[in-house]
Amino acid sequence: MSRPLKRRDAKHTYELHHGPSMTPMVDVVLVILIFFMAAAVIVGPERLLRAALAREAPGETDGLFSLPTPRLVLHLRIGEGGVPIAEGLGLGTMTLDELGPSLRRLAAEIEGSEATIVIAPDEGVLYEHVVVARDLCAEAGLERVELR
């Protein structure tokens, strides 16, 4: 019995091939690997360069890295019965009569001369109430007061 000869033509070889060719993908991955290896060699020494940052004198407090003064917002609104209500500053909700002692305690906790208080009245709040709130801030030692 004779064995048939194996087919060796191009069509038979193509039919034996299953799936996409992985050769181009491997080539691309190797090129990317070489690129990152070369980039790591170049970037390595730069990581150790000294930064030219400004230095402050030991007594100075104002500089490039100092924090800005805190801005605290005091909201004024009209409560039930037309009573002006103050909210904010972490003090809770209170009337203008209760605001003075609370502002004095706040000024003692935060360095009062360094903090900025922003008075933000709602619509309908009389200007008289805004002036009273501003005066209470001044009496407590909070001199930086802004109106919104």
Residue range 24-39, pLDDT digits in tens: 999 999 999 999 998 8
Instruction: Answer yes or no: is pLDDT of 3 > 90.
Output: no
pTM beyond 0.85: the answer is no
Amino acid making up residue 92: G
Residue ranges of the domains in the chain?
Answer: 71-147
pLDDT of residue 31: 96
User: What pLDDT score was predicted for residue 25?
Assistant: 92
Rounded Cα gap, residues 144 and 101, in angstroms: 18
55 sits in the region (left: phi over 0; alpha: psi -120 to 50; else beta) called beta
Confidence of residue 81 (pLDDT cuts 50, 70, 90): confident
Please report, for residues 40, 105, 115, the alpha-carbon distance to residue 120 in angstroms, rounded to integers and kept in the order given. Answer: 54, 21, 16
Q: What is residue 85's predicted lDDT score, i.e. its pLDDT?
A: 83
Tens of pLDDT, residue by residue over 37-74, are 988 877 766 666 666 666 655 555 555 666 777 778 88
2 — pLDDT class (breaks 50, 70, 90): low
Convert the pLDDT of each residue in 115-144 to its tens digit: 788 888 888 888 888 888 888 888 888 888
Class of domain 71-147: alpha beta
> Torsions phi, psi of 28, nearest 5?
-65, -45
Within 8 A by CB and 6+ apart from 148, the residues are 73, 118, 119, 120, 121
